[in-house]
Amino acid sequence: MFVKQVPDSAAKITVENGVVNWGDAPLVINPWDEYAVEAALLLAEKHGGEVTAYSLGDENAKEALKHALAMGCQQAVLISDPALANADTAAVARALAAAAQKDGADLALFGKQAIDWDSGVTPSMTARVLGWPALSLVAAVPALDPAGKTIKVERAIEEGRQVVESRLPAALSIVKDYAEPRYPSFMGIRKAAQAQIPSWTLADLGISAPANTVETLEISAPPAREVSNEIITGDSPADIAAKLVDKIIGEGVL
Amino acid sequence: MSKFFVFIDQFKGQALPASWEVVTAARQLADQAGGSVSALVFGPEAEALAQTAIHYGADEALACADATLSDYRPEAYTSLLAQLAKEHSPQAVLFPTTTRGRELAGMLAIDLESGVLPDVTAINLQDGKLVATRPIYAGKLLAKVVCNATPQLLTLRARAFGKPAADSSRSGSVSSVAAALAEGDIASKVVDYAAGDGRVSLGDAGVIISGGRGVATNPNLTPPAEITDAKEKEIWLAHQGFALLTELAEVLGAAVGASRAAVDAGYVPYAHQVGQTGKVVSPDLYIAAGISGAIQHLAGMRTSKVIVAINKDADAPIFKVARFGVVGDLYELLPALTQAFKERLNK
């Protein structure tokens, strides 16, 4: 399963000369990835198997991996190579796919997106590189047969709930409905603190640097919005409501 | 001549409204670039949807109603998209930013050795290339990005490119195309489906009424005696509060949203969550009731055109982004607001 290290969602994010800054806010495991870690652990507990957490990034990303280890993952691997410094999502997907293949994974689990670049395409892209079915927005796995190489998932799609059967191996993106992520245990935290996390380069993965096609030209702060605040007061709720409705209708948004 | 492909996202033969926004945006790009727009329509009702795409501005449509595409399955859809892109060499393939749109854009990028620019809110044509602006960190920053491969693959955020207008007198050719994969080549199968509650979805909504922790704090209500558990009492209270939001939402044809705090407290399902770890929305009108305005929530709704905040705490950060604010009790104000809208809108 794959995790990413991101600034805390409460961070005040700014940019200066194209460099993103999150002040003294902590780096944390991407909140959506915690659901994927939980799903992976539950599946391994029920059906057997081991859970390895992978993260692509610099040394900082080891913190996200330690969090995954503290939650109960058996192994963690950092994928780190200077050639991946400005990797776009396609390049990231090719590196993650190589890692899944190297370890002979049957299932690849992802959070649905990362809260930094909000792309939401890495899970399906990785699936495509691997040639595996992409099963997204998975809220439950009612059946998994590792020997028979089949899986049945329940997807929380915008239109409702959909049950999909698929062959294994497969790549899943997990949504919040799956299960509340467990807190790292005291023993888990100790184990994670002592864990040696191997670092793999592209050469270790047996691939050359994937081509980058997406180029970031500029990062900027959004234009400040001039909001003229107006507090509506009145003699009674009905009076306030009537005034507010007039104001809203006056804005021409209905 | 540059050709712009537009993928029409549909579910069970119904197109998602965001698809027509993308056709409209592609039309403008094609007019600027001196190019054409081709709509790609797969699945049930493909031919009818193809005609609608032409009414919204496509020059032609490629339609495939093959049974293997009846249910959306990413492999089957991607393979056909890749095949058509190879045959027609479009300059760009544009998708709506829906779950399916994002997924397909990503997978197609792998097949075509290109990259994807997801969730784009603005496009400039520069030297024949599409330079896209996309919000990152839930809109706390903007990134200007370009894809240096062809075709360029973009997903366009709903409601960012203006309202589409159909012209039923427009005509264009519709070509039927064959599926790229046979049933036996597709690894997954949809075996069951249960429709959701059918309410307006957050992404498409022009108006959103959201509730936060405050909806569970009505001092004038007493939960029934048979509820003894404190947590259940709180949820009962929250449900009464959200019922008021829902009544107002029905009058305005609005979607119901919620803050992360309200979702985490178990008041409403996650599908309603607005914010950095929920849905990022941009409606014309956003009414926040009992929401204090944590930075994660503001990130998810601050680009709404008109924001109205109702909160008892006059110092709540939500008031800083609100065009109109009411410092008061949502339990008193929401029913009055529902009534006032009913009268003014003759409902």
Backbone phi and psi for residue B78, each to the nearest 5 degrees, phi listed first: -65, -45
Contacts of residue B179, defined as CB under 8 A and 6 or more positions apart, other chains included, come to: B64, B66, B68, B69, B76, B80
Contacts of residue A188, defined as CB under 8 A and 6 or more positions apart, other chains included, come to: A69, A70, A71, A72
B-chain residue closest to A113, CA distance: B277
Contacts of residue A124, defined as CB under 8 A and 6 or more positions apart, other chains included, come to: A134, A136, A171, A173, B74, B102, B103, B104, B106, B107
- The reply to whether residue A241 touches residue B337, judged by beta carbons under 8 angstroms, is yes
Place of tokens 């029905």: B250
The rounded distance, in Å, linking the Cα atoms of B116 and B301 is 24
Q: What count of residues does chain A have?
A: 254
CB of B12 closer than 8 Å to CB of B42? no
Residues of chain B in contact with residue A237, where contact means CB-CB under 8 angstroms, are 328-329, 332-333, 335-336
Among the partner-chain residues A175, A213, A240, the one whose CB lies closest to the CB of B333 is A240
For the whole model, what pTM was predicted?
Answer: 0.94
B-chain residue closest to A123, CA distance: B103
| A17 lies within 8 A of chain B by CB | no
- The reply to whether residue B142 touches residue A221, judged by beta carbons under 8 angstroms, is yes
β-strands B36-42, B60-64: how paired? parallel
From the CA of B180, how many Å to the nearest CA of chain A? 16
Alpha-helical (H) ranges within chain B are: 17-33, 46-55, 74-88, 99-111, 230-252, 260-264, 295-301, 318-321, 330-344
- The reply to whether residue B332 touches residue A220, judged by beta carbons under 8 angstroms, is no
| A224 lies within 8 A of chain B by CB | no
Regions of chain B with pLDDT less than 50 = none
| A254 lies within 8 A of chain B by CB | yes
A215: how many CB neighbours lie within 10 A of its CB? Answer: 14
> What pLDDT does residue B273 have?
94
> What pLDDT does residue B317 have?
96
Q: Which of A89, A81, A140 is nearest to A113 (CA)?
A: A89
B-chain residue closest to A175, CA distance: B270
| A143 lies within 8 A of chain B by CB | no
From the CA of B206, how many Å to the nearest CA of chain A? 8
From the CA of A75, how many Å to the nearest CA of chain B? 27
Regions of chain A with pLDDT less than 50 = none
Chain A contact probe: residue of B16, B98, B136 with most A CBs at under 10 A: B136
> What pLDDT does residue A18 have?
86
- The reply to whether residue A136 touches residue B319, judged by beta carbons under 8 angstroms, is no
Taking every pair of C-alpha atoms in chain A, what is the biggest distance, in angstroms? 73
Contacts of residue A1, defined as CB under 8 A and 6 or more positions apart, other chains included, come to: A33, A36, A37, A39, A40, A51, A52, A53, A54, A68, A73, A108, A109, A110
Residues of chain A in contact with residue B285, where contact means CB-CB under 8 angstroms, are 248, 251, 253-254
> What pLDDT does residue B163 have?
87
From the CA of A99, how many Å to the nearest CA of chain B? 17
Residues of chain A in contact with residue B163, where contact means CB-CB under 8 angstroms, are none
Place of tokens 């994937």: A210
- Which residues, listed in sequence order, are joined to residue B125 by a DSSP beta bridge? B130
The rounded distance, in Å, linking the Cα atoms of B109 and B88 is 16
| A179 lies within 8 A of chain B by CB | no
- Which residues, listed in sequence order, are joined to residue A162 by a DSSP beta bridge? A155, B193
Buried b vs exposed e over A101-130: b needs ≥16 C-beta within 10 Å? beeebbbbbbbbbbbbbbbbbbbbbbbbbb
Place of tokens 């959909």: A162
Model confidence over A136-169: pLDDT tens digits? 999 999 999 999 999 999 999 989 999 999 999 9
CB of A96 closer than 8 Å to CB of A54? yes
CB of A5 closer than 8 Å to CB of A27? yes
> What pLDDT does residue B127 have?
87
B178: how many CB neighbours lie within 10 A of its CB? Answer: 8
Say what the ipTM of the complex is.
0.95
Residues of chain B in contact with residue A137, where contact means CB-CB under 8 angstroms, are 99
> What pLDDT does residue A104 have?
93
The rounded distance, in Å, linking the Cα atoms of A251 and B158 is 21
Buried b vs exposed e over A141-166: b needs ≥16 C-beta within 10 Å? beebeeeeeebbbbbbbbbebbbbbb
CB of A123 closer than 8 Å to CB of A112? yes
Backbone phi and psi for residue B308, each to the nearest 5 degrees, phi listed first: -120, 130
- The reply to whether residue A128 touches residue B78, judged by beta carbons under 8 angstroms, is yes
- Which residues, listed in sequence order, are joined to residue A165 by a DSSP beta bridge? A152, B189
Query: Token pair of B208, please?
Result: 């959103």
> What pLDDT does residue B108 have?
98
Distances (CA, A) of B216 to B242, B328, B338: 9, 15, 19
